[in-house]
Amino acid sequence: MKVIKTIDSLRRDLQLRKADGHSVGFVPTMGALHEGHLSLIHQARDNHEVVVVSVFVNPLQFGEGEDFESYPRDIERDQQLCEEAGVDILFYPSVEEMYPREASVEIRVVQGVDVLCGESRPGHFDGVVTVVLKLLHMVEPNAAYFGQKDAQQVAVIKQMVQTLSMSVQIIACPTVREEDGLAKSSRNVNLNTRERELAPALYSTLIKAGELAKSGSSRTELMEYVAKNLDQLELGTIDYVDVLTYPELVASEQLSGTVIIAVAYQFSRARLIDHILVEL
């Protein structure tokens, strides 16, 4: 595995491999890799001759008071995990390499950002699409892999690719879960014993709501059902419950096509998100 830190050498290396007709799969990450990331890497490994993983903690997507400085960084461990997973190129640029000068253009997400996690994180998705667009321009992969767990991020990126007429395929990989259904997250370690016992209720409630959606419940009924069930946990507070079209993330009482039922729940020391997609 090559560890590459500059855009120029990344391009030079990839150019040679592409000239041989090799297909490139790209997994952009912020590092601190866990099983979720590894499942993306494995899928890219299955589909492409060349797998590129980027590790870059993107300052643009952190708001004021958010945890840019304290965001976990462990490049040695990331490097080892990538090597074991058969990655070809680990791209690990500095902030100066990614943003060498003031931006001459700014990208603003204007659809699907005033809902779900976007509501409490203004500008967050502008930072996400900016870094993803730049990384896609650097790697020019055939496909890029994202975790479906970050459903809104995947939606926003898919919509950007469409709006900007990009040819790259955006592949969303399924959420990796514990045996009891809890979505894997680095934040799960911050649950206490009682919270950890009850946390799978997030997912099981979403599954039941999905069944109700299929049997004709309205948006309001579904939101009330999920809220009522999660209120019964009596452990923390609901940050949001929402039911939207996917990937447009538009509220519509008439449910049809692909619909996301999404929840964010604040436990004592961990805010967890989860969702399901339902085909109606």
Instruction: List the catalytic residues.
Output: 37
Contacts (Cβ under 8 Å, ≥6 apart) of 279? 257, 258, 259
- Least separation in angstroms between residue 131's CB and a copy of itself is 10
Q: Which is nearer to a copy of itself, 77 or 137 (CB)?
A: 137
Nearest-angstrom CA–CA distance, 127 and 4: 23
Contact 247, 155 (CB under 8 A): yes
Nearer to a copy of itself by Cβ, of 131 and 176: the residue is 131
Would the annotation count 37 as a binding residue? yes
CB of 11 to a copy of itself, least distance (A): 6
Q: Find, among 155, 189, 154, 192, the residue nearest to 268 by Cα.
A: 192
> DSSP 3-state assignment of 193?
helix
Q: Interface residues for a copy of itself in 122-151 (CB under 8 A)? A: 129, 133-135, 137-138, 140
Report the residue from 46, 69, 96, 106 that binds a copy of itself according to the rule CB under 8 A.
106
- Extract the tokens encoding 16: 């040679």
E strand segments, 115-236: 143-147, 169-173
Q: Does 103 interact with a copy of itself (rule: CB under 8 A)?
A: yes
What's the CA dihedral at 96, 98, 99, 101 to 10 degrees? 80
Nearest distance from residue 24's CB to a copy of itself, in Å? 14
The answer to whether 109 contacts a copy of itself (rule: CB under 8 A) is: yes
Judge contact between 32 and 73, C-beta under 8 A: yes
Q: How far is the CB of 263 from a copy of itself (least distance, A)?
A: 24
Compare residues 110 and 280 and give the one whose CB is closer to a copy of itself: 110
State yes or no: 61 annotated in a binding site: yes
Q: Is 15 annotated as a binding residue?
A: no
Which of these segments, 26-34, 100-108, 211-219, 237-245, binds a copy of itself (CB under 8 A)?
100-108
Residue 45 or 48: the one with the smaller Cβ distance to a copy of itself is 48
Residues 7-26 that bind a copy of itself (CB under 8 A): 7, 11, 19, 21
Specify the residue, 8 or 67, whose C-beta has the smaller distance to a copy of itself: 8
DSSP 185: -
The nearest distance, CB 87 to a copy of itself, in angstroms, is 21
Reading the block at residue 256, the tokens are: 């049809």
| CA–CA gap between residue 262 and residue 160 (Å, rounded) | 21
Encode burial over 217-232: b for 16+ CB neighbours within 10 A, e otherwise.
bebeebbebbeebbee
Say how many residues make up the chain: 280
Q: Which residues bind a copy of itself (CB under 8 A)?
A: 7, 11, 19, 21, 98, 101-112, 129, 133-135, 137-138, 140, 156, 159-160, 162-167
